[in-house]
A and B are shown apart, each in its own frame.
Chain A
Amino acid sequence: MQNFLNLVISGIVTGAIYSIMASGLVLTYQTSGIFNFAHGAIAFATAYFYYQLHTGQGVPIVPAAILAVVIFAPLMGLALDAVLLRRLASAPIYARIVGTIGLLVALPNLALWLVESVGDDALGAKMPKVSDLQSVGGHAPGIGPDPSHVYHPFGWLGLPKVHLNSDQLAVFAAAAIAAAVLWYVVRRTRAGLEMRAVVDRDSLAALRGINQARSSQIAWILTTVLAGLGGILITPLFQLNSDIFTLVVLGSLAAVAVSGLNSIPIAFVGGLALGVVQNLVAGYKDDILPSFIDKISGLASSVPFVLTLLLLFFVARDRSRAAGSVADTRPPPDHRAGLPAWRRRLPWVLVTIAILGFSLQWLNVASLQADNYEQSQIALGLVFGIIFLSFVVVTGLGGMVSLAQATFVISGGFATGWALNRDWGDIPVIAPHGQLNFGLCALIGALCAAVLGALIALPVRRLGAVALALGTFALAFVASLIPFDYEPIGKGSFGWPFSGTKGVAPSAVNRALPSLDVEGALGWLRRIVDPNSDKWFDFSQPRQQVILMLVVFALITLLLHSLQRSASGRAMLAARSSEVAARTSGISPAKAKFAIFALSAAIAGFGGAMFGVVNGSVSASSAPPLVGLVWLAVAVTFGVRRPGGALLAGLGYSCTQLIFLWLANDVVGNQTFHDLTTAVFFTPILFGLGAINLAKNPDGLLSLIGEQRAERRRKRELATAIAAAEAEAHGGVVPAHEVVHAEPEPSPGEVTAVEEPAAAVPAAGREKFALSLQGIVAGYGDVEVLHGVDVDVASGTIVAMLGANGAGKSTLCAVAAGLLEPTRGKVLVDGRDVTRQVGFRRAREGVLLVPEARGIFPGLSVEENLRVLLRTDDERQRAYERFPILGQRRRQSAGLLSGGEQQMLSLAPALANPPDVFIADEPTLGLAPLAAEEVVRAIRELRERGCAILLVEEKAREVMELADIVAFMELGNLVWMGPREQADSERLAAAYLGGGVTVD
C-alpha cells in the first residue's frame, strides 16, 4: 500500500509537468486553431534564457526566474504572435501545423546560435554553453536548491517512505498556481471571455467589438508563460536540451488527446492521470505482464504514445469532422500555369545537367569538379529528394501532414536489407547465386513500406489534419521504440548492411552494391555521362550513385506526373479540395486518402532502399522520429507541390552546410563568418524560418522566383480580356454601373474618368445621416460583388434592403459593419469617415450588426453572451427585463436555446444599450411566426429609441410594413431607393425577378 501510494503521489507530481504542457497546448489550439508543436521549443528557449541569467551571469534565482517567465516569455509570445500567427491565421490547416514545426526547428537553434555562436564565438562574450553541461550529464539547476532537498510530506499520515524533493515540489506548486491562474483568466476575466468568444465564433467576435488580434496576443502570452514556467521547472528534473523538452511535451500528448483538444481542465487532470499511469505501469508491469511480453523492449516507454494513438482514435475522431484534410483555402495559383511545356521543363533540364556536370567532372576546371565527398553528399541529397517526393504526394497532393515518413523510410530500408541479406537459392536472373536482384529488393522495401502506410492509414484516415499529424507522430515513436529496436528486425546499432556477403560483420571490406555489369549494352551511355569511370556502372562509387539517384528520381517523378493526370489522381485532388463534394461525385475520400498514404509510404520506403545504397546500411538511427519534423520543414521550404521542390529540398538538406563551408573558406575567408554560418545551429534556423514563412505557399521558395512575373502577366491578360468583352457587349460604351473595377485603387479619393451614377440622395449634406455608404465597390478576391452602391440611413428610420439571393445585400452589411473593406467608396458614421476602421472598433463605436443566422456565441452561456457587449450589471439587468426568458436561462449555454430565444439573445444587447446604427441581416429567417413577431417588435422599439436601422430581408411582405425607406438591389447595384409608399408591388416583383425596373 505504501508503495502504491508512493507511486501515485510521485506520479501526480510528474503528471503536473504534463498538465502544464497539455494546458498550454490546448489553450493555443483553442484560441488560434494552431496545434503548437513548438511548445517544447518555447519552453527550452525560456529555460535557456534562465540558465544564461542564473548560471551564466550569476543573477539570483528569484529575479532570474521573474525575468525569464514574466518578461522574456511574454515578449517571445508577442513576437511569435506577430511572426507566426498573422502569417498562418488564414492558412490551410496543414500549413499551420508546418508553421509550428518550423518554429520547433528554428527556435532552439536560434537561441543557441545567438548565445553560443554570436555571443560567445563571434563577440567573445563569455557565456556558458550547453555543451559544457555534458560533463555533468546535462544537469542544470532549476529554481530550487541545488542539489535538491528531500522532504517526507506524508510522514504524519504514516507514510514515511513517500518522499519528494524540492524540484518536484516546485513543479507541483507551480502547476497548481498555474492551473488556478489559468482558470481565473479564462473563466473570470474580460480577456478570457473574449478569448472564448473568438474561439466559439470568430466571425461574430469582431461584430461584438472584440479585438481578435489582441485576444490572440493574450492567448500566446499565456501559452508562452506556461511553456516557459514549465521549462524552468523541468530543467533540473531532466536536462537542458531542446530535444528532451520536445519529448516531454510529446509525452503530454495523451493528456491533450483525452481533452479532445478542447478542454483545459480535462487536459490538466489528464496530465496528472498520465503521470500516475506511467508510474503504475513502470512499477507493476513485471508483476502483471506475462514474461514473454515483458521481454519485448520499449513497451513501458511507449505507453504515452500508445495511449495517444488510442485516445486520438476514440476522442478526436468525431469532433474533428472533415476539418482536417480539407484544403479550406484555395491553393495559390500555380505561377507557371500557361507556360509552354518546354519552358516549364527547361530549368529542371538545366539543373540536371548542372548536377551531372559538377558531380562527374565534365569540365576540366578544378572549382567545377566535385570531389569524392561532394559527390557523396550530392548523391545523399538526391536520396533525400526521393524521400521528399513522398511529401509531394501526402502533403502536396493529399493536403495531409504525415510525421511518420521517417518510419516508412526505415521500414523500406529494413525490408530491402533483409531481402539483400537473405539466401534466395540460385534463381537465374532474379537471384543469381542466391542474391536477389537489387531492384527487386528495393521494390520489396517499397512494398513493405506501402503495406505499413496502408495499415496506418486504415485507422487514421478519418481523423482531422491535426489528429492525423499527432497520430502519425505517436506511431513513429512506437515504431522506433518497439519493432525497430528489436534485434532481428533492426539489426542493432549498425542495422542491415547493404552488402552481398552474408554473415560478415558490417565492417567487412567486401560490399556489393548494384552495378550495371554490361559493357556491351550500356557502355556507350556510360562513356558519355561519365567518361572517367571504370568498366561498368558501379553504384558503390559516389559519382555513379549520383547517376543512379537522378534516374530513380526522374522515374518516380514521371510516375507521379502520370498519376496526377490519371482518373485516380484527379479523385485524390477532388477529395482534398472538398470531401463533401467529392463524395457526391461518387469519390470515396477515405479511399483516396488511403491510396495517397500508401503511395507516399511506398516512395519513402524506396527512398529508404536508396539511402542504404549511399550509406552502406540502414539502421533505426538512420531516421529517428524527430528527424521527420526537420524533413517536413525542409520539404515545405522548397515547396511540396512539385517534384522539383523535393529535388532542391533534398540537395539543400544535405549540401547547405557544405555550401556555407565553401563560402566561408574559399569565398569570404572571414573567421567570424565561418563561425556563424558553419555552426551546427545555423542551417536548422534557415530551414525552420523557411518553413514558417513559406508554409502557406505550396511552391515554397520556388514561388518567390516565378510568382511576381506570373502576377504581372495575369493582370495584363485580365485587363485585356475585360476590355475586349465590354467593348463587344456595349459597342464601346460602358454604362457606369457595369464598370468592373478590376484594379483596386490605392487612394479611394482619386478622380476617375468613369461617370458616377446619380445618387438617390444628393451628395451634399449626407454627413447628417447616421450611416452613409457612398459609392461602395467591394468583393472577395477577384470577384467584385458591389459595383458602386450608395445608401444612407438616418437616425430613427428603418431602411429595408430587398433583393434576390446573390444581389449583394450581405456583402453590403459586411462593408457597413467593417468586416470587409471596400476597394472604393466611403463609409460614414455620424459624418465620420470610418472606411478604414476595422470591425471591432466600429462595433465599439455604435455600429451593431446582427448577422444572418443569429448573432450569438453558442458555446458561451446566456450571461456570458450578454457580457461580451454589455459590460455593466445594469445593462444586463435591462436586457433580462426586456426578455425575461433569457433571465431564466442565464446559466444555460446559448447553443441550447430555441431559435426564437437565440434571436432574442442576439437583439438583447441592442435593446439594453441602443447603438447608433443597427444592421440586421435577415433577422426573421427560420423563425416561427410568433418569434418573428417578437423580433419585429424589437426592431420597431429600436427605431423609436433613435437607432438608424439597416434591415436586410428576402421576405418582402413583413418588411414593407416595417420600413420607412425601401431599397432594391440587383446584381451588386442599387436599382431603386425611395419611401415605402412609392415602392409598389411591381417594383417588388421586378426586384426579385430581375430587370424591368425603371430608375426614378
Chain B
Amino acid sequence: MKRQKLVAVAAVAALVGTFGLASVGTAGAKVASQSSVRGVTSTSIKVAGICDTTGVGAAAGAKARFDAENAKGGTLGRKWDFQSECNNDSDDANQDLTIGKRLVQQDGVFGVVPVQTPTLASAPFFAQQKVPFAGWGISTGFCKNPYAAAFTGCIVPPTNIKTTGTTWGALVDGLFKKQGSSAKGKTAAVITEDDDSGKVGAVVVGAQAKVNGMKLVYAKAALPPPTQTVGDYTPYVQALMTSASGKAPDVIFVTTAFANVLGLSGALLQAGYKGILTNAVAYDPALIKAATGQSVFTQFDLPEDTSNANMVQIVKDMNNGGVPTNKIGQPALAGYFAADMFIAVTKKAGKNLTPDSWAKALSKFTYQIKGVVGPTKYPQSQTQGAPCGTLVTSNGTAYEISVPYACYKNINYTTLKPIKY
C-alpha cells in the first residue's frame, strides 16, 4: 500500500474515530459558575432587543415604556438599562443567532426585549441558556419555551398543534354587520404564498372564515414565496376576481409578505375589486395613502381609538419617549407591549430576580392592558395565541377603526371545534 493511501485511510479512520469514542448523552449545559445573575445588579437590569428590518421601530416603543418605568423609579428598585437600538437580524437566521449569542455571551443581558422577528433562530439558544425574552409572537420560537413571553401568545404554533383564533373572520363579520348584513353565506377567498407556511396559512385563515359562516371559495398558496419576486399580479388577480363562480368574492384575505400585500391589494383595486379587502400588516401612518380601501387586522388596539384611556396613556408615553403620534405604527406599539409585558413578569418574579424565577412567574400569568392588548394567558399561550384584535380601514386620508378591539375564541383549524383558552 502506497504511503498516500495509508494517509488517506488513516485520516478517514481518525475522522470517524474522533467521534468513535463519543457516546452521545446529555452533556448537561454547564452554566459558568457566576456569583451573580447575568445582567442583573442591585440597581439595574440589562436588556436589549432583536428585530428584523421591518421591526426596528419596536425599539422606540420599548424605550418609551422603559423610560416611563425608569421615571417612576424602575421596577422593584432596579432601573432598566436598555440599548436604544434594536439589533437588526435582516431576516437572516444566522445573523439572528449571532446577535442572540452576542447579547447573552458578550453583552451579558438578563433578557431580550423587544423581540420582533419571524426569524427567531435564537429561540432554542435562549431556552438552553435560560434567557427570558418578550415580544410579538410572530415566530414559532415563542411557543413551548418557558422563557418566552409573547404579548399575543404563541400565534404561529408548530405544525403539529392545529390551533388558531377565530378573530380575523369574526372582525370581518363585524365589518359586514356594520354595513348592515353579516358574514353568513358571504363568499371568501384566502391567498397566501407558495411555501410550507403559506400552505398552512391558507388552511388556518380559511378556517377562520368558515367558522364565521363564510363560504370559502378560494384558499390557495399561489403567490411566489418572499425569497422570490412577483413582477405581475395579473394571474392572481384574475383567479381571485373570478373565484366566486366567475365573480369576485365578497371578502379577500391577503395573507402574504408586506410587499406582496401592497402589490396584490393595489392590483386588485386597480382591477375594480369592490368587496372587503383585508390583510394583517398594512397599518402604519406612512401607509395611509398606499393602503386606501384596505381593512387591516391588528392584534391590539390602535391610537385611533381615542376613547380608551389606556391607549391615550400609551400615546402619551410614546410622545414623551420621543415617538410622535404620526410615527406610531405596529412595530412601535409592539415594542411598547413587549417592554410592558417584560416589566409585568419581572414584577411578579419579585426582588430575587433570576431567569428561573422569571420563568416561574411567567408559567402562570395573564398579561393585559384592558381594551388594548390581551388578556394573554399563560401557560395556555405556550401553544395558543390570544384570540383578540381590531379591524381598521384606511379611507385614503386617515385610518378609521372599523371594528373595535375585542376577543373571540380559539378553534382547531382542521375540525373547526372550539379549544379552551
Interface positions of A (Cβ within 8 A of B): 3, 6-7, 10-11, 13-14, 17, 131, 134-139, 147-148, 150, 161, 163, 165, 168, 234, 237-239, 244, 247-248, 251, 275, 278-280, 282-283, 286, 295, 297-301, 371-374, 376-377, 380, 432, 435, 437-440, 442-443, 480-481, 485-487, 490, 492-494, 497, 500-501, 505-518, 521-522, 534, 536, 538-542, 548, 551-552, 555-556, 558-559, 561-563, 565-566, 615-617, 619, 621-622, 624, 680
Taken together as a complex, chains A and B put the C-alpha atoms of A238 and B257 apart, in Å, by 12
Does the CB pair B53–A136 fall under 8 Å?
Answer: no
Does the CB pair A297–B199 fall under 8 Å?
Answer: yes
Instruction: From known contacts A298-B194, A373-B101, A439-B19, infer whether A248 and B124 are also in contact, taking CB-CB under 8 Å.
Output: no
Query: How close is A421's CB to chain B, nearest CB, in angstroms?
Result: 12
25 example contacts (A-B, Cβ-Cβ < 8 A) are as follows A14-B231, A131-B88, A135-B284, A138-B259, A139-B259, A168-B232, A251-B231, A283-B239, A295-B199, A300-B194, A437-B20, A439-B17, A486-B196, A492-B197, A494-B141, A505-B144, A507-B148, A508-B127, A511-B29, A540-B27, A542-B105, A548-B18, A563-B4, A619-B121, A621-B121
Query: How close is A221's CB to chain B, nearest CB, in angstroms?
Result: 26
Taken together as a complex, chains A and B put the C-alpha atoms of A371 and B27 apart, in Å, by 21
The residues of B that contact A298 with a CB separation of less than 8 Å are 194-195, 225
A-B CB proximity, top 9 nearest:
A439-B19, A373-B105, A301-B224, A282-B235, A373-B106, A372-B105, A283-B235, A621-B93, A14-B232
The residues of A that contact B148 with a CB separation of less than 8 Å are 507
* Chain B residue nearest to A18 in the complex (CB): B231
The residues of B that contact A487 with a CB separation of less than 8 Å are 159, 196
Taken together as a complex, chains A and B put the C-alpha atoms of A230 and B370 apart, in Å, by 51
Does the CB pair A515–B22 fall under 8 Å?
Answer: yes
The residues of A that contact B127 with a CB separation of less than 8 Å are 507-509
Query: How close is B11's CB to chain A, nearest CB, in angstroms?
Result: 4
The residues of B that contact A374 with a CB separation of less than 8 Å are 106
Taken together as a complex, chains A and B put the C-alpha atoms of A497 and B194 apart, in Å, by 24
The residues of B that contact A380 with a CB separation of less than 8 Å are 98
Query: How close is A286's CB to chain B, nearest CB, in angstroms?
Result: 7
Does the CB pair A297–B194 fall under 8 Å?
Answer: yes
Query: How close is B105's CB to chain A, nearest CB, in angstroms?
Result: 4
Does the CB pair B97–A615 fall under 8 Å?
Answer: yes
* B182 interface residue (CB < 8 Å to A): no
Taken together as a complex, chains A and B put the C-alpha atoms of A500 and B24 apart, in Å, by 7
Chain B residues bordering chain A, tally (CB within 8 A): 99
Residue in A137, A148, A513, A562 whose Cβ sees the most chain B Cβ within 10 Å: A137
Taken together as a complex, chains A and B put the C-alpha atoms of A539 and B26 apart, in Å, by 11
* B227 interface residue (CB < 8 Å to A): yes
Does the CB pair A150–B270 fall under 8 Å?
Answer: yes
The residues of A that contact B25 with a CB separation of less than 8 Å are 500, 512, 515, 517
Contact of A616 among B18, B19, B125, B231 (CB under 8 A): B125
Query: How close is B369's CB to chain A, nearest CB, in angstroms?
Result: 23
The residues of B that contact A247 with a CB separation of less than 8 Å are 227-229
The residues of A that contact B15 with a CB separation of less than 8 Å are 439, 443, 552, 555-556, 559
Contact of B259 among A137, A438, A508, A619 (CB under 8 A): A137
* B236 interface residue (CB < 8 Å to A): yes
* B21 interface residue (CB < 8 Å to A): yes
- Interface segment among B63-71, B286-294, B305-313, B373-381: the answer is B286-294
Does the CB pair A136–B232 fall under 8 Å?
Answer: no
The residues of A that contact B235 with a CB separation of less than 8 Å are 7, 279-280, 282-283
Instruction: From known contacts A372-B106, A373-B102, infer whether A516 and B195 are also in contact, taking CB-CB under 8 Å.
Output: no
Contact of A13 among B232, B287, B290 (CB under 8 A): B232
Does the CB pair B24–A514 fall under 8 Å?
Answer: yes
Does the CB pair B229–A376 fall under 8 Å?
Answer: no
Does the CB pair A6–B234 fall under 8 Å?
Answer: yes
Taken together as a complex, chains A and B put the C-alpha atoms of A868 and B139 apart, in Å, by 64
Does the CB pair B8–A559 fall under 8 Å?
Answer: yes
Contact of A442 among B19, B23, B54, B234 (CB under 8 A): B19
Taken together as a complex, chains A and B put the C-alpha atoms of A552 and B17 apart, in Å, by 11
Instruction: From known contacts A435-B24, A562-B4, infer whether A507 and B19 are also in contact, taking CB-CB under 8 Å.
Output: no
The residues of B that contact A494 with a CB separation of less than 8 Å are 121, 123-124, 140-141
Does the CB pair A481–B228 fall under 8 Å?
Answer: yes
Contact of A136 among B17, B130, B158, B286 (CB under 8 A): B286
* B325 interface residue (CB < 8 Å to A): no
Does the CB pair A6–B238 fall under 8 Å?
Answer: yes
Does the CB pair B221–A297 fall under 8 Å?
Answer: yes
Query: How close is A821's CB to chain B, nearest CB, in angstroms?
Result: 45
- Additional A-B contacts beyond A279-B234, A432-B23, A437-B22 (10; CB < 8 A): A283-B238, A297-B199, A301-B224, A438-B24, A443-B15, A481-B227, A492-B197, A506-B123, A517-B25, A538-B30
- Considering the complex, which residues of chain B in the window 100-141 have a beta carbon less than 8 Å from any beta carbon of chain A? 101-102, 104-106, 118-119, 121, 123-128, 130, 139-141
The residues of B that contact A244 with a CB separation of less than 8 Å are 229
Taken together as a complex, chains A and B put the C-alpha atoms of A254 and B324 apart, in Å, by 48
Taken together as a complex, chains A and B put the C-alpha atoms of A295 and B125 apart, in Å, by 33
Contact of A521 among B21, B141, B158 (CB under 8 A): B21
Does the CB pair A10–B232 fall under 8 Å?
Answer: yes
* B198 interface residue (CB < 8 Å to A): yes
Contact of B18 among A439, A481, A512 (CB under 8 A): A439
Query: How close is A168's CB to chain B, nearest CB, in angstroms?
Result: 8
The residues of A that contact B198 with a CB separation of less than 8 Å are 297
Does the CB pair A680–B12 fall under 8 Å?
Answer: no
Taken together as a complex, chains A and B put the C-alpha atoms of A556 and B289 apart, in Å, by 58
Query: How close is B34's CB to chain A, nearest CB, in angstroms?
Result: 11
Taken together as a complex, chains A and B put the C-alpha atoms of A959 and B230 apart, in Å, by 69
- Considering the complex, which residues of chain B in the window 280-331 have a beta carbon less than 8 Å from any beta carbon of chain A? 281-282, 284, 286-287, 289-290, 329, 331
The residues of B that contact A282 with a CB separation of less than 8 Å are 222, 235-236
Does the CB pair B228–A301 fall under 8 Å?
Answer: yes
Taken together as a complex, chains A and B put the C-alpha atoms of A60 and B141 apart, in Å, by 46
Instruction: From known contacts A437-B24, A540-B27, infer whether A485 and B18 are also in contact, taking CB-CB under 8 Å.
Output: no
Instruction: From known contacts A135-B329, A443-B16, A512-B24, infer whether A248 and B229 are also in contact, taking CB-CB under 8 Å.
Output: yes
The residues of B that contact A17 with a CB separation of less than 8 Å are 231
Instruction: From known contacts A301-B194, A373-B106, A439-B16, infer whether A507 and B144 are also in contact, taking CB-CB under 8 Å.
Output: yes
Taken together as a complex, chains A and B put the C-alpha atoms of A621 and B139 apart, in Å, by 14
Does the CB pair A299–B144 fall under 8 Å?
Answer: no
Query: How close is B264's CB to chain A, nearest CB, in angstroms?
Result: 11
Contact of B98 among A300, A377, A485, A534 (CB under 8 A): A377
Query: How close is A519's CB to chain B, nearest CB, in angstroms?
Result: 11
Query: How close is B115's CB to chain A, nearest CB, in angstroms?
Result: 13
Query: How close is B13's CB to chain A, nearest CB, in angstroms?
Result: 10
Contact of B12 among A147, A493, A559 (CB under 8 A): A559
Query: How close is A87's CB to chain B, nearest CB, in angstroms?
Result: 30
* Chain B residue nearest to A501 in the complex (CB): B26
Does the CB pair A137–B282 fall under 8 Å?
Answer: yes
Does the CB pair A275–B22 fall under 8 Å?
Answer: no
* B271 interface residue (CB < 8 Å to A): yes
Does the CB pair A10–B282 fall under 8 Å?
Answer: no
* B46 interface residue (CB < 8 Å to A): no
Does the CB pair B26–A555 fall under 8 Å?
Answer: no
Instruction: From known contacts A494-B124, A500-B25, A622-B93, infer whether A371 and B106 are also in contact, taking CB-CB under 8 Å.
Output: yes
* Chain A residue nearest to B32 in the complex (CB): A372
Query: How close is A250's CB to chain B, nearest CB, in angstroms?
Result: 9
Query: How close is B363's CB to chain A, nearest CB, in angstroms?
Result: 14
* B187 interface residue (CB < 8 Å to A): no
The residues of A that contact B124 with a CB separation of less than 8 Å are 494, 497, 506-508, 511, 616-617
* B266 interface residue (CB < 8 Å to A): yes
Taken together as a complex, chains A and B put the C-alpha atoms of A681 and B282 apart, in Å, by 28
* B252 interface residue (CB < 8 Å to A): no
Taken together as a complex, chains A and B put the C-alpha atoms of A492 and B140 apart, in Å, by 10
Contact of B145 among A148, A486, A507, A555 (CB under 8 A): A507
The residues of B that contact A548 with a CB separation of less than 8 Å are 18
Does the CB pair A555–B284 fall under 8 Å?
Answer: no
Instruction: From known contacts A487-B159, A497-B124, infer whether A137 and B270 are also in contact, taking CB-CB under 8 Å.
Output: no
